[in-house]
Homo-oligomer: A and B are copies of this chain.
């Protein structure tokens, strides 16, 4: 029997509640197979920072690195909490893990399941995946503030885009498209304004694309892409874009595909040098934390992406079948966090 070492970071707010259900579903779907899950929990996030002043101690990061995968809830304290102003848990913990562990392919599927109500009047068949670059672009944190607090203040943010970084994520996106029946890739940028980064992206997409003649490639400006996503989301198969555009488009995709309560993501290090990290797209939602009000489905579907990544395709398929069946029978009726977990577990199809 194979042992999988899983690092669990439940985080803040609704993170622990949704991760609890994801863990239950992982156990249920792997039961009876030849896999043992060995978990280590890491208590990191805003609560930890408030208690100890620590964000991500080196020794804990090294311990996390020695695991096979990371299951991540959500981090972030109550908005406006002055004690967190200086902390930036997002940069110091979540983005630090993504950058240090070379999670260059941030994979975010958008599927509208039967029985799920969309906010769109006529969404059609929605089934696409956004491959968001995860390690560069405007997220690098380069830049600074000159003369802060004065009328002459100037703040800069430097987006850094390398052929190295763009090529590896673009290649991953082409491979993703190859594995899907429609074989279509839409790359999104703002080449008419961000001419420097846009030129690098365009050159790399064209060069890598030449190796994949089976894939139909098209391009959209990011602003136009939001219109297309609202007017005709069914047209998309695989999208690839930079870190910031991907952040924005995947929240929009979540809203269109049955709500952010269903949006799963994987921060993938395809090389396998570091553990990949799986997390719901939603945040910590401190306003509803601890009340069993959060929908754990996004966390559960993220666990499904993790099972895929770990080579447990059968388990991942059974997990998704259970989610589909649960949605088809229960729709969007309000249920407690644990009730959703119970219902999904009850729908897991038998092995074989």
Q: Which residues of A contact B (CB under 8 A)?
A: 76, 79, 88, 90-91, 95, 117-122, 138-139, 141, 143-145, 148-164, 167, 190, 192-197, 199-200, 203, 219, 222-224, 226-227, 230-231, 244, 247-248, 250-252, 254-256, 259-260, 283
Contacts and interface: CB of A to CB of B under 8 A. Distances in A.
Most B CB within 10 A of own CB, among A141, A148, A223: A223
Contact of A251 (B138, B195, B226): B226
23 contacts: A91-B192, A120-B120, A121-B121, A139-B193, A144-B196, A145-B196, A145-B199, A148-B203, A151-B163, A154-B160, A154-B162, A155-B199, A156-B158, A157-B196, A159-B159, A223-B247, A224-B251, A224-B283, A226-B252, A226-B255, A227-B254, A230-B230, A230-B252
Given A119-B231, A154-B161, A190-B247, 20 more contacts: A91-B195, A119-B120, A138-B138, A138-B193, A144-B196, A148-B200, A148-B203, A149-B203, A150-B163, A152-B164, A155-B196, A156-B159, A157-B161, A157-B197, A159-B159, A193-B244, A222-B247, A223-B247, A223-B248, A227-B255
Nearest to A253: B226
